[in-house]
Amino acid sequence: MGGRPRLLVNLSFPELAAGAAVLPVDGVGLMRAEFLCLQAGKHPMTILEEGGEDGFVEFVRDAMVEVANAFAPRPVTYRASDLKSNEYRDLAGGDRYEPVEENPTLGRRGIFRYLREPAGFKLELRALVEARQAGAANLRLMLPFVRTVEELREVRTIVQTAGCYNQPGFELWAMAEVPATALIPEAFAAEVDGLSIGSNDLAQLVLGADRDSPELAQRYDATDPAVLAAIRQIVAGAHAHAKPVSICGDQPSRDPELVRELIASGIDSISVLPSAVPETLALIERYVPAVSR
């Protein structure tokens, strides 16, 4: 592990997959589920209440297959939904199921939601299983906003019960975007097949700076020494368990210095926006020899 990192791409809309697939990338490091949920237009519990689960599963499954087929045999990492409570409240029926939280970023989100409302998560797992059964064997699953190792173990049991591990080649990844992951990375890495750093949340939580606050914008810096130290610890901890590490937050798409630091850390892959692929590829070509000397 380490050396020259693979270059991956972030993808939000399945219809953009064909265009992104012709880029010189090694796969999809982040296929966001959030936009699929928003397009569905209804809160997952409303979908279940109305008996619309088959239609939702078909919609998500077809989106997965479209992206997976465009990139095959390169891997496609589907990150399960990570909408916050305020975003879910805006969906049809959401106000009946979601609390009004003062700070949704630190509230009911990520895999905590899966444990609280497993029925919605199970629809995504069913779509994933069906997509892989349909031939999209390059799909892998990534869990968002993992706070504790115990949470991760509990959700992994749900994934296993859904039949995902019965399929050859299935991989389960977890996001590393909470400082706890940097403090005990070996413990998190031991539970999954790989970690992917979410630089957006990691930076704001390490620095205690709301990235959506105009007043704190200058304090939000993914190349701050504390954030870089957290990234290096995550990479080293995962590598101690022979597990790969990627990064899929937006910051590498905007910050050449961060790309250099990521290469120096020994990260295994960097996932960026399609528009940032040429520049990031050039940076990798420039920095890898320098870092290797």
Range of the domain at 57: 6-292
Structurally, how many domains does the chain consist of?
1
pLDDT value at residue 293:
35
147 lies in a domain?
Answer: yes
140 lies in a domain?
Answer: yes
User: Rounded to whole angstroms, how far apart are CA atoms 206 and 273?
Assistant: 24
1 lies in a domain?
Answer: no
Complete DSSP assignment for 128-178: HHHHHHTT-TTEEEEE-S---HHHHHHHHHHHHHTTGGGSTT--EEEEE-S
pLDDT value at residue 290:
52
User: Rounded to whole angstroms, how far apart are CA atoms 144 and 83?
Assistant: 10
pLDDT value at residue 1:
64
Nearest CA-CA partner of 75 in 141, 124, 131: 141
CATH code where residue 38 lies: 3.20.20.60
pLDDT value at residue 217:
74
pLDDT value at residue 254:
86
pLDDT value at residue 291:
47
130 lies in a domain?
Answer: yes
Per-residue pLDDT of the chain (293 residues; tens, 9 = 90+): 657 999 999 999 999 999 999 999 999 999 999 888 888 889 889 999 999 999 999 999 999 999 999 999 999 999 999 989 998 888 898 899 989 998 898 989 999 999 998 999 999 999 999 999 999 999 999 999 999 999 999 999 999 999 999 999 999 999 999 999 999 999 999 999 999 999 999 999 999 988 778 887 778 888 999 999 999 999 999 999 999 999 998 888 888 999 999 999 999 999 999 999 999 999 999 988 654 43
Q: Which helix (H) or strand (E) holds 261?
A: helix 256-265
User: Rounded to whole angstroms, how far apart are CA atoms 267 and 279?
Assistant: 18
207 lies in a domain?
Answer: yes
Phi, psi of 15 (to 5 degrees): -70, -15
pLDDT value at residue 2:
57
- Pairing mode, strands 172-176 and 139-143: parallel
275 lies in a domain?
Answer: yes
112 lies in a domain?
Answer: yes
93 lies in a domain?
Answer: yes
Residue 44 is classified by DSSP as H
Q: Output the six-digit token pair for 42.
A: 């209804």
Nearest CA-CA partner of 28 in 1, 63, 52, 53: 63
